[in-house]
Amino acid sequence: MKSFLRKLFSFLGIPILIIAFCLLLSYMIFDPFKVLFSYDHYSLSPVVPNRDYISSEIYLNNRGKYQYNSFIFGNSRTYAFNVNAWKKYLDKNAKPFVFDASSETIDGIYSKIRFIDSTGGKLDNVLILVCRNLTFNKKFDGHLFLSHPVIAGNSKLMFQFAYFKAYTNINFLKAFYSYKIFGKYEDWMENYLSLSRNIGMDPITNQITVIDYENEILTNKDNYYKKRINIFYTRTHERIDSINRINAGHVFMLNEIKRIFKKNNTHYKIIISPLYEQMKFTATDKKILEHIFQDNLYDFSGKNKFTDSITNYHEASHFRPLVGDSILSIIY
């Protein structure tokens, strides 16, 4: 039996090693997730990105050159807050940066603020976007939600291993190389490639712009929402969240954020998102935020002039920049 296994391994071992070598070599050549090397522009990649990593890389590579001192923290909904609109309310020396991450949690926000402060960065102005269904939840699993190892203080080796493992997924390989060879995007590739939407990204401020959605709305608003009528489900009335999500660990991080802001004389605003769901932020959690941040907290959750109209949303998750502009005019 041992002799048979040795012969079997010797027969299969070489092909397996060749396949492994080819996978590793192709991974290093194409760097599909854009995590091996640094890039001037990350919006050119067809692969679904890790926004935490991209935001962190742009900040780390550019902080010396641009001397950022004003930050927007939160999840993908931060794209509604345009940095040029924000700058109207800040002093002339403000140099903004959108430090967002997909499905960002308070852990990620805290680690970024802590890193900026501990490395001598300035925090003159800050916006933090808080979302009922994301900010105080457990971080999602998967390579797309891994924190940048430098910012989070995690193992770089384990970070890279997670991405190589994701690369070897047969479905990813099929989608990636089908598109690379034939240059045609198909719906089945959606979980692996990000070509279903035209998204722009500023290489300096890291500002995301959802170009195609806005253009379509401005061209033919009625048709845009008519095509997506199934996305915008009917809401009958305002509901109040019954789940208290802020735990003791979150309270520690929130107080640490407040301490860092006080140390830096930071002018900051905490915004609770106006989500399409019209669910009001839980009263218990809101009291905790009010106790820590006091008059710097602004609650736009529940039923209000922003959440009533579907035309304030690109879909049932993300509100439009015109809403962000209106919120800025209110809180400043």
* Per-residue DSSP letter, 167: H
**pLDDT band, very low/low/confident/very high, at 177 (cuts 50, 70, 90):** very high
Across 274-298, average pLDDT: 96
> What tens digit of pLDDT does each residue of 59-106 get?
999 999 999 999 999 999 999 999 999 999 999 999 999 999 999 999
CB of 289 within 8 A of CB of 251? no
- Per-residue model confidence (pLDDT) at position 128: 98
Q: What is the mean pLDDT of the chain?
A: 92
Q: Looking at beta carbons, which pairs linking 209-212 to residues 24 or more positions away fall under 8 Å?
A: 209/79, 210/79, 210/314, 210/318
> Which of 153, 158, 111, 144 has its CA nearest to residue 45?
144
* Per-residue DSSP letter, 147: P
Burial string for 285-307 (b: 16+ CB within 10 Å, else e) reads bbebbeebbeebbebbbbeeebb
- Per-residue model confidence (pLDDT) at position 13: 55
User: In this predicted model, which residue has the larger pLDDT, 216 or 22?
Assistant: 216
> What tens digit of pLDDT does each residue of 121-137 get?
999 999 999 999 899 99
pTM: 0.92
Q: How far is CA 177 from the centre of its chain?
A: 26
Segments of 137-253 assigned E as strands: 199-201, 208-210, 239-240
**pLDDT band, very low/low/confident/very high, at 6 (cuts 50, 70, 90):** low
* Per-residue DSSP letter, 311: G
**CB neighbour class for 91 (10 Å; exposed up to 12, middle 13-18, buried from 19):** exposed
- Per-residue model confidence (pLDDT) at position 8: 44
> Which of 289, 269, 273 has its CA nearest to residue 134?
273
